[in-house]
Amino acid sequence: MKRFLSYAGIILGSLIFAFGLNGFIIANGLAEGGFTGLALIIHYLSGWPVGIILLVLNVPLIILGWRKLGPAFTYKTLLAIIAVSVAIDLTQGFALKTNDLLLAALYGGVFSGLGIGIVIYSGATTGGVDIIARLIHDYKGISMGVVFFTFDLFVLALVALLFGLEKTLYTLVALFIFSRIIDRILEGFEDAKAVTIISQHRQDITDLIIKELDRGATIIKGEGAYTGQEKEMVYVVVSKYQLLRLKRMVRDLDPQAFIIVNSVYEVLGEGFRSPSS
């Protein structure tokens, strides 16, 4: 069942990505980063189908990936590459042309990011720069992030040279949205808040958290750097909707309390999402 869901996710993600690419990016003459961006440049110059170009560009990398990264990595990646390439050419009629390139960049980034995010969440990649980055990292020790950034910079420079600065700037907007959507899918949408409270009324605060918010809490023992006095900190994770209530409760008990709030993108465990989900 898990394998079926994984493959279904790859296919669904590919279709969503292809819709975003054809419907907003290609329809309005924008570009992308990575191998998709390279395929789009070739498409704009030659008129050849984007899916076929993308597939041809990835063939030598799949062979390298099979030899160097093993079949386990290659199987799902090959499926994702084929699914994305076929989906792009199947959905090429979905063109939502607009005079507002900002809207095209925003929606193109959302749908393409959502699609690739689902593909990656399903345990695959779409090949391209990902394989190159892994190989360079393994053999040269260069950060994968540096490889991704360098290749994207190269593609964007080509876009600027061939199609002008305006298209490049809107493409950058699409790439930013694209990356943020992927991050959200991989990191989670819960937006919980991790709160650390330093107060002399530790026990009262802990009791209220348990009774009023129905949350557990952790007591962390520490020492004041300046005074040398022992301190007890309350650490609790709450939903963003409970944060204001928690701060008011703490302030009512101890106006001098020191409160630190950090954003948490994913929480697994009791009261939040199950670790097995």
For residues 105 and 27, is the Cβ–Cβ distance under 8 A? Answer: no
Q: Is the dihedral of CA 175, 181, 184, 190 positive or negative?
A: positive
Q: How many residues does the chain have?
A: 277
Read off the pTM: 0.77
Of 60-69, 236-245, 261-270, the range with the lowest mean pLDDT is 261-270
Give 174: exposed, middle or buried? Use CB within 10 Å, 0-12, 13-18, 19+. Answer: buried
Query: In a 3-state reduction of DSSP, which class is residue 215?
Result: coil
Question: Among 125, 119, 132, 10, which residue's Cα sits nearest to residue 61?
Answer: 132
For residues 248 and 197, is the Cβ–Cβ distance under 8 A? Answer: no
User: pLDDT tier at 272 (50, 70, 90 boundaries)?
Assistant: low
Share the mean pLDDT of the chain: 88
Give dist(CA 248, CA 120) in Å, integer.
40
pLDDT digits (tens, 9 = 90+) for 69-90: 677 667 888 899 999 999 999 9
pLDDT digits (tens, 9 = 90+) for 96-141: 999 999 999 999 999 999 999 999 888 888 888 888 887 887 788 8
Q: Where in the chain is the domain with CATH 3.30.70.120?
A: 192-264
Tokens (6 digits) for 123: 């345990």
On the question of pLDDT at 38 being above 90, the answer is: yes
Give dist(CA 264, CA 144) in Å, integer.
25
Check residue 237 and give its pLDDT: 92
For residues 162, 164, 169, 173, the Cα torsion angle rounded to the nearest 10 degrees is -50
Check residue 135 and give its pLDDT: 80
CA 248 to chain centre: 33
Give dist(CA 10, CA 239) in Å, integer.
31
CATH number of 192-264: 3.30.70.120
pLDDT digits (tens, 9 = 90+) for 162-195: 999 999 999 999 999 999 898 888 766 666 899 9
For residues 181 and 218, is the Cβ–Cβ distance under 8 A? Answer: no
DSSP letters, 225-260, are TTT--EEEEEEEEE-HHHHHHHHHHHHHH-TT-EEE
Give dist(CA 39, CA 157) in Å, integer.
15
